[in-house]
Structure 1
């Protein structure tokens, strides 16, 4: 196992322990010692790697989406609907974890992870940009990330009545909506 694999394994262990604790306790009531003991990591590891519990959630959310991206269909360019549909599939696979993150008000970590992945794919031409100039506007990735995460929250809460692929298509349609003149 590589040093990176070991670090990722420790991150996921402390993340999973935190999510488990958050299902029954408020974040402020979780002690670092109990969290580290549950995760099988040292307090030194915690203080060296994280500034807060929110930092654990942010780092693990990013690792989850990066690992998931590695398993996306190997095409030269993904379209937005496929990328976002795959994100919804990830959300579905991690439904309990994501609902816990929403429940404790930490959805910002999911937004940042989605935004980072989306920007990376756009910047490296792995994803086809929508057929409009919005993609190059200053706040576009924040808009898409916020929309996708908010939509995934409602979708997960409602029991995922539509398929993940349908949700990707829906977000892509919203992204490509034409501007209307008044």
Structure 2
């Protein structure tokens, strides 16, 4: 097994062990020793790779989202509605895990992961400019947009996900491309 594959395997093991423990008790009461025993990894592994549990969750969420991005159509660019539809599909597929993380106050990790991945897509010019997305280059807009999308996802899960992901993707595109006032200088 390659070092890269071993690292990924250990991340999955420690993340799944953390989730399992979180179903049994609050995150604040889980010890590093307990987590490492549950995951079958050493404490040395934990301390070499992570400073806290949030880093485990963040690393796994980012890896999960990057895996999702690799499954996007091979076309150069993708429309915002389709991209957001895919995001809500991912949220829906992992709804139980997402609810558990939200219950343990990990909202910020979802926002940070979304923001990191979204910035990567902008940097790689993967989002179709036909959606009028010049606003994404405005200061603080990506932070605003990331928080808004994650908040919609969380509330959608709380409501039992009554609408299909495509509906939410279209709504996000519509709201994101409204013509805002020009920034004051």
User: With structure 1 as the length reference, what TM-score do the two structures score?
Assistant: 0.94
Residue of structure 2 equivalent to 1:153: 154
Contact kept? 1:50, 1:56, Cα under 8 Å: yes
Residue of structure 1 equivalent to 2:70: 70
Contact kept? 1:122, 1:128, Cα under 8 Å: no
Whether 1:92 aligns to 2:92 is yes
Regions of 4+ moved over 4 Å: none
Residue of structure 2 equivalent to 1:177: 178
CA RMSD of aligned residues (A): 1.5
Give, in angstroms, the shift of residue 55 of structure 1. Answer: 1.1
Give, in angstroms, the shift of residue 179 of structure 1. Answer: 2.8
- Unaligned 5+ segments in structure 1 are none
- Unaligned 5+ segments in structure 2 are none
Contact kept? 1:85, 1:164, Cα under 8 Å: yes
Which residues of 2 match residues 1-182 of structure 1 at below 5 A?
Answer: 1-129=1-129, 130-179=131-180
How many residue pairs are counted as aligned between the two chains? 181
Using the alignment, how far apart are the partners of 1:73 and 1:97 within structure 2? 26
Using the alignment, how far apart are the partners of 2:23 and 2:90 within structure 1? 20
Contact kept? 1:36, 1:42, Cα under 8 Å: yes
Specify the SS of the correspondent of 2:4: helix
Using the alignment, how far apart are the partners of 2:88 and 2:133 within structure 1? 23
User: With structure 2 as the length reference, what TM-score do the two structures score?
Assistant: 0.92
**Residues 93-125 of structure 1 deviation map (CA, whole Å, 9 limit, x = unaligned):** 111111111111111111111111111111111
Using the alignment, how far apart are the partners of 2:58 and 2:122 within structure 1? 21
